[in-house]
Amino acid sequence: MRIVFWNIRAGGGTRVERIARQLAGWAPDAVALCEFRATPPSLELARSLAALGLGHQCTTADRARPAANRLLIAARWPLRRLRLGAEPEGPGRWLSAVVEAPRPLTLGAMHVPNRVSGRKDLFYAELLAWLGRWRRGPLLMLGDTNSGRPGIDEETPVFGPKEEAWLDALERLGWRDAFRLVRGRARAYTWYSPNRGNGFRIDQAFVNHELQPRLRGVRYDWGRRARPRAATPSDHAALLLDLRG
């Protein structure tokens, strides 16, 4: 099973055709998109995913606020959206659904607020509280976490003790950073600051104990350029995970 997470940047805009082609090239069985919107480009992308066989979809996109960045999960198999109460409350920043695959699992997609929003620590606390009650089997969390470990997930210092404490707490609860499980302390950057060009690994996946034995591979991919020196389809790298079954 291949699962792709990708922050598509501001709903995809004029890039949605390239994004759809790139997703088709990766041949995913399930996709989680960040910064998906209720705008015509995003809705067209959802239709393109359905045409690829990913017709089972759920989203936090808000038609009353179509330009708001939200989340989408799409899969080859039926989805059952979870609403368990006491989930992280950031508007549209958390979405979880059971994927009724031959070997079912739950996908949790997230977009953690950045520090300047003033809501990052609250999101951290709410997600940890939710995970502390999790007893429903394999759970894969994917997202743009705006977080990383100091010294290894950054080219210049930006992450601090709060980010590290949150990642440590996830690990204590049983959720391991999939990239680190496979690649150890290898460096990879998934977003570069537009002003200074510094790289950060802020797009991540976390697997719990039940899912860790199924993890086969993890990699980041910036996508193919349409032509030499053209911009990549998004300002974030996509995260590709391969699971057994």
pLDDT in tens, 129-144: 999 999 999 999 999 9
Sheet strands side by side (includes 105-111)? 79-81, 94-99, 105-111, 139-144, 203-207, 176-177
State pLDDT tens for residues 142-162: 999 999 999 999 999 999 999
Instruction: Compute the average pLDDT of residues 46-53.
Output: 98
Instruction: State residue 86's pLDDT score.
Output: 76
In whole angstroms, how far apart are CA 236 and each of 104, 216, 226? 28, 23, 16
Q: Can you say whether residue 85 is alpha, beta or left, with left for phi > 0 and alpha for psi between -120 and 50 degrees?
A: left
Average pLDDT, the chain: 95
Q: Nearest-CA neighbor of 222 among 187, 183, 188, 176?
A: 188
Instruction: State residue 84's pLDDT score.
Output: 76
* C-alpha span between 80 and 78 (Å, rounded): 7
CATH class of 2-243: alpha beta
State pLDDT tens for residues 186-245: 999 999 999 889 999 999 999 999 999 999 999 999 997 666 556 899 999 999 999 998
